[in-house]
Amino acid sequence: MYNSKITGLGYYVPENIVTNNDLKEFMETSDEWIQERTGIKERRWIDPATEDTTAVMGAKASRIAIERAGLTKDEIDFIVFATLSPDMYFPGGGVQVQEMLDMPTIGALDVRNQCSGFIYAMSVADQFIKTGMYKNILVIGSEHHSGGLEKSTRGRGVTVIFGDGAGAAVLSRCEEGGKGILSSHLHSEGKHAKQLVLEGPATQRWVPEILEKNDPDDVSYYPYMNGPFVFKHAITRFSEAIVEGLEANKLEKEDIDILIPHQANLRIAQFIQKKFRLSDDQVYNNIMKYGNTTAASVIIALTEAWEKGKIKDNDLVVLAAFGSGFTWGSVIIRW
């Protein structure tokens, strides 16, 4: 059985920076209020005047990752695209990237696991490579949140958190034992689905019904989050997923060189850091600059950490995420 190793990384974020003070133009809030609760100072939102979309950003990040992997687009065997905000209800973003990059008629799979989407996507790609089915797989996480947020005081509890962006990784076959992805661990708990949810429009409540009612109090087509409830479960599941990954590989928390957590809330990351007694150099956070980019957050942070030289050969890298579903998981990597 083969191992899969990350051979290329790339990310792309829109140029348009939206600061906490900018948000005061259309909602009652403050820089202090947002930073205290989330750690976020600014985020990137797509400028509607640009070409950027979820798929376009994914393609831009992918070009960088493929080039850094030393490959051509024709050497990619498969695409796994993670997002909750596709350009279209269907088809998914994976086939759009295949077309945008003018790739051969390779398969493209979309993953809809929200904040843990990239973790799930990495795990799926890893299995394809381990079995020998594919040699090089493009794994993408991309989100366009800003087009679907309630930009008002009523929606501020969610709107201030989310940003737009994309990241991509190339996973390649590796025959060197003990290197690359050591294991991945995935979980879900659907009974809490409505604690972090966007209910419509969906096939149970399609667009004509929403328009017919024209109810200004209908917020079902905006994201809803029970913040305290999500926070409580996140810190528990984050810890469990990390411990599970370490134990599966007979490792201890002291073996972690760097933890890349999903960028949901700086307070969650800080809680996990303290619990595992990790130093500031052992945890990489960038939520301050980009907000929560959901399926893109882990791969953007991983790419930035690597670009800054914070990840070195043979380092133990732990990726972990928790989010809507609830779904959560971890990926343990020997770099």
Name the active-site residue from 136, 233, 262, 265: 262
**3 state SS of 111:** strand
Told to judge if 262 belongs to the known catalytic residues of this protein, a careful annotator would answer: yes
Residue 25's alpha-carbon distances to 19, 69, 82, 162, in angstroms, are 11, 43, 32, 17
Residue 90 is given by DSSP the state: S
Told to judge if 174 belongs to the known catalytic residues of this protein, a careful annotator would answer: no
Q: Which tokens belong to 251? A: 């490792």
Residues linked to residue 12 through DSSP beta bridges, in sequence order:
166
Name the active-site residue from 3, 115, 185, 265: 115
Residue written as tokens 């966007």?
198
Contact between 5 and 181 (Cβ < 8 Å): yes
Name the active-site residue from 3, 20, 113, 292: 292
Residues linked to residue 196 through DSSP beta bridges, in sequence order:
225
Kindly give, in sequence order, each residue whose CB lies less than 8 Å from that of residue 294, ignoring residues fewer than 6 positions away. 83, 84, 85, 114, 115, 117, 141, 143, 145, 162, 323
Told to judge if 20 belongs to the known catalytic residues of this protein, a careful annotator would answer: no
Kindly give, in sequence order, each residue whose CB lies less than 8 Å from that of residue 197, ignoring residues fewer than 6 positions away. 223, 224, 324
DSSP string over 181-247: EEEEEEEE-GGGGGGEE---SBTTB-HHHHHHH--TT--TTS-EE-HHHHHHHHHHHHHHHHHHHHH
Catalytic amino acids? 115, 262, 292
